Amino acid sequence: MSVTLHYATDLYVPGEERDIFPLLLPYTLEPTRQNPRRLLGGASEIHDGFALAPSESDADVAILPMSWTLYARLGRLDEAHRWVMSRNERGLPTWTWISGDFSLKLPDISPAVVFTAHGHRSRAPRNYAGLPAFIADPREIYFPTERIAPVAPSPRPSVAFCGHAAGGPSKYVKEVARTWCRNTASRLGLDRRGPDCLTSPTWRRQRILERLESNREVHTDFIRRRAYKAGARSSAERREVQRVFYENMRRNHYTVCVRGQGNYSIRLFETMAMGRIPILVDTDCLLPHDRFIDWRRSICFVDATDLSTVDAALVRFHRQAGDIEALQRRCRRLWEEFLTLKQFFLRAWQCQSRSRQPHIRTVTTCAYSE
């Protein structure tokens, strides 16, 4: 039986597809060859598990159709807030989301859920839930005729990284200054985005790679880019850059995953989709579905407060991991069963409907088993 959805048509904003609630993409947009993003992350499969209700009274879930980020930009926060609170009063489960790289200061709308990829789990309200990056299956796109097997066990962990990681003092100062300005505007009430820690993502990434390279017990396979996506401009160039990115990931056990501007890592989900093991440099990330996934058993966690231990943490994890091929398969299975567009929201609905609890997130329960 499908989960029935209803959204506020008067709060839908045409032409702002980046801010559409992800689950509504197949209902509000027609995929085109020119814009394959509209099919990203399995949007075409949503109809198998979800359906639009003819009226709100027939719906299992009410959805705020656009992101809070867009409503803030358009000056329509109060209107969206009133709509959500009215659904709370009716006892109808309601889902909303924050798009983009930054958190947003919102009034309390619990028990309505706020899905967000960023934020900090230690201080996120209980009604905030981690949101994965929804990506198309890289195995189908870049290796359609090949069987992607796990990387064979070896005494040394092999680590991949392909991306932007070149930054000197000027880059550090620029990124820290940008965050300081944004934080200052936030604290003065001039910017609705929440404050963030003063750091340089590029500098942190570079330090981690250097630390791993310095350890002879670690095999590194790093491709450093001097610009985001290697500065690719054409669609052919972008596709080749992505192919190299996933090929680098494919031939190694692990991939370094570090936050960028926002406090989340898209590479975390790209790595799991490839069936490889993420090394997550944890900056208090708000991870999705911690009711189901025991993240600390499933991937290599590294504390971001002490980057000098990243290599030792990896070596220790690799020695204690046991069957390294089984762990790679587990990462792929977790992505398929919990982190694709359809499965993520089906699990979210299970949390609310079966447990009779309004909150999706927890820090104590893990229901996932082999």
Quick one: average pLDDT of 110-127?
90
Q: Which residue, chain included where needed, has tokens 């980020």?
A: 69
- The pLDDT tens digits of the residues spanning 313-363 come to 999 999 999 999 999 999 999 999 999 999 999 999 988 876 555 455 554
Residues pairing with 130 in the sheet: 116
> What's the pLDDT score for residue 164?
82
* Assigned architecture for domain 138-338: 3-Layer(aba) Sandwich (3.40)
Residues pairing with 4 in the sheet: 51
Report H helices in 217-284: 235-250, 266-273
Q: What is the CA radius of gyration of the chain?
A: 21
CB 179 within 8 A of CB 198: yes
CB 27 within 8 A of CB 64: no
CB 159 within 8 A of CB 279: yes
- Kindly report the pTM of this predicted structure: 0.87
How far apart CA 206 and CA 203 sit, in angstroms, is 5
Poorest-pLDDT segment among 63-67, 104-108, 239-243: 104-108
How far apart CA 40 and CA 16 sit, in angstroms, is 16
- The pLDDT tens digits of the residues spanning 9-40 come to 999 999 898 999 999 988 775 444 344 444 44
- Please tell me which of 4-13, 289-298, 300-309 the model is most confident about, judged by mean pLDDT: 4-13
Decide if pLDDT at 141 tops 70.
Answer: yes
57's tokens: 């009274």
Helix (H, G, I), strand (E, B) or coil at 266: helix
